[in-house]
Structure 1
């Protein structure tokens, strides 16, 4: 695996891969044909903001283990950075990536409307959790490649369970002044959707009150999580898998609050670029994302597996056991530019 570029480094997954997992499932005839074609291309380049750098590296390692002879190159950055990089490549007619994974499916819709995506229905779609499969594009221009609810994290050494915020509006309580961390909607796709959700629920007054608490504004949604783990901030907007994984595997002083007014449920999406330099390797990789190896990899790291019948990690709550909210793709596209501008004006960053 060649690690091409990384903008934000996240946590190192506390996950020891069992020997032989990657080769556990035998290839179907269609998979074998794709593999043979991919070997002739030699590599696949994956643009990704969906996961942390180290987690994406782990996924590539599994891919290379199963499909020897096809190198997996990771290009990892925050959502808006990756998207702008791709937009520039499209404008220059010099696309270098083969496929992209993002937490903002609005980006996929924009690429589809520009004619920049290729249609492909992976063979493994048939084995997906139905509700996750149905969140994807109906014309097969992108798949659902993950779901990572955004919740509230708190440092257990600095905050008791009773003291911890119970809902999003609690973050504006003056007692949290100088102790809150959030990402930036101009850099993180999922933070952009969260900002839209909060504005829809409470109006911009929520952010004006939050600004008075002098929050730490990062770029990636993972930044707040890292600040809570280090104790530099007491509470933060953070992805559920990072919190659960660090708490269980690393024994980090971090715990989760499922907000009573609803966790944001942003579906991650993966699409193949129409002008991909390695189209067969891209199709093989996209199908692999929905396969048993990645489902098990997700589950072991406290992520929701995409494949039906794969058990959740111990202590992980089913999606239907707490309140979640989603933002429609078209709504996200139409509202995001104004939201980003208002955020910059309010927080001065």
Structure 2
């Protein structure tokens, strides 16, 4: 099968899956609640919206754009997808040039949105739909309504189900320091992965620097990104993935790899990714409507086929995962990350020698 054909098949499969889980009342314009209908009427006069995003890969980003335009006929979604840093640089360039191109900005880096808020560049708008989101998304949103969480990434453990049984598997992060896991672990690197940096901050807060010394004695295979252990486990080089992303793991399992998630008893690390409407958005009503869309059930349904966590209780979680409201979630605050990330990177280098 060619790459083009494979992409077409995966896109069609994702669209069918979305249709299967998305009730008609979420997708059809005539069934919109009053607040969305009013915004839709105003947005249709603007005709389009431009979305700068680094939260999702290209295929799911385009799927979101299509789902938005299908739900709100007459409003085209222009998807400008890149890494979060590139998206922020593009937005910064717009600001320096005093041009307004972006309506809604989405990033995996919360500091981008907190900076934009301080600079007065975010529209103070709290979507009505945000009240129906899962607790974790509501709790991580800006209290003043300048940005909302529109993507939640979970980092946990995973096992090769053909080589480690559920009974044998580690139950907590602390278990990873047990000598039985020597030469069996794979993990990313906080110097390259922000997610691993967040995880390392939490481990130091939970168990102190001794945790890392115990982990080092078990000689984990250290990659770069949080997703590298997925490849390592698929290759059979190690059997336990540490701080491994749920979405990438579930996607790999759906392709036939024998991977199973492990939810640590001491907490699954969560990383929240926000979105905000730009204060000088060229299409302000469409921007508000897009924020309603991203905090509503139709968005979670559109991203679910790509194994993104559901932000709405009425949309089931991806196959193989648990509802967010049923998981013990842990995370450092944005202030803690900013203050401690340099320290844990240095601790990592001192402990592991890389």
Q: Which interval holds the TM-score relative to the shorter structure?
A: 0.7 to 0.9
Q: Does 1:72 align with 2:72?
A: no
Pick from 129, 132, 135: which aligns with 2:137?
132
1:4 aligns with none
Pick from 215, 240, 250: which aligns with 2:246?
240
Residues 82-124 of structure 1 show CA distances to partners (whole Å, capped at 9, x for unaligned) of 5566556656656754333344434432332232322112232
1:335 aligns with 340
1:55 aligns with 60
Q: 1:130 to 1:166 in 2, by over 3 A?
A: closer
TM-superposed CA distance for 1:232, in Å, is 4.9
Superposition CA RMSD, Å: 3.6
Task: Give the number of the structure whose alpha-carbon radius of gyration is greater.
Answer: 2
1:114 aligns with 119
Structure 2 residue matching 1:145: 3-state secondary structure: strand
Structure 2 residue matching 1:269: 3-state secondary structure: strand
CA distance in structure 2 between the partners assigned to 1:92 and 1:343 by the alignment:
41
In structure 1, the gaps of 5 or more residues are 1-11
Structure 1 stretches of 4+ moved >6 Å:
none
The size of the alignment, in residue pairs, is 333
Query: Is contact 1:227–1:233 with CA below 8 Å preserved after alignment?
Result: yes
CA distance in structure 1 between the partners assigned to 2:108 and 2:288 by the alignment:
20
Q: 1:184 to 1:335 in 2, by over 3 A?
A: closer
Compare 226-235 and 116-125 and name the one that shifted more.
226-235
Q: Does 1:24 align with 2:28?
A: yes
Query: Is contact 1:47–1:82 with CA below 8 Å preserved after alignment?
Result: yes
Q: 1:331 to 1:162 in 2, by over 3 A?
A: same
In structure 2, the gaps of 5 or more residues are 1-9
Residues 139-184 of structure 1 show CA distances to partners (whole Å, capped at 9, x for unaligned) of 1011122333211012223433344333223444564437413254
* TM-score, normalised via structure 1 length: 0.77
2:183 aligns with 177
* TM-score, normalised via structure 2 length: 0.76
Structure 1 residue matching 2:164: 3-state secondary structure: coil
TM-superposed CA distance for 1:211, in Å, is 4.9
Structure 2 residue matching 1:228: 3-state secondary structure: helix
- Whose helix proportion is higher, 1 or 2? 2
Query: Is contact 2:66–2:77 with CA below 8 Å preserved after alignment?
Result: no
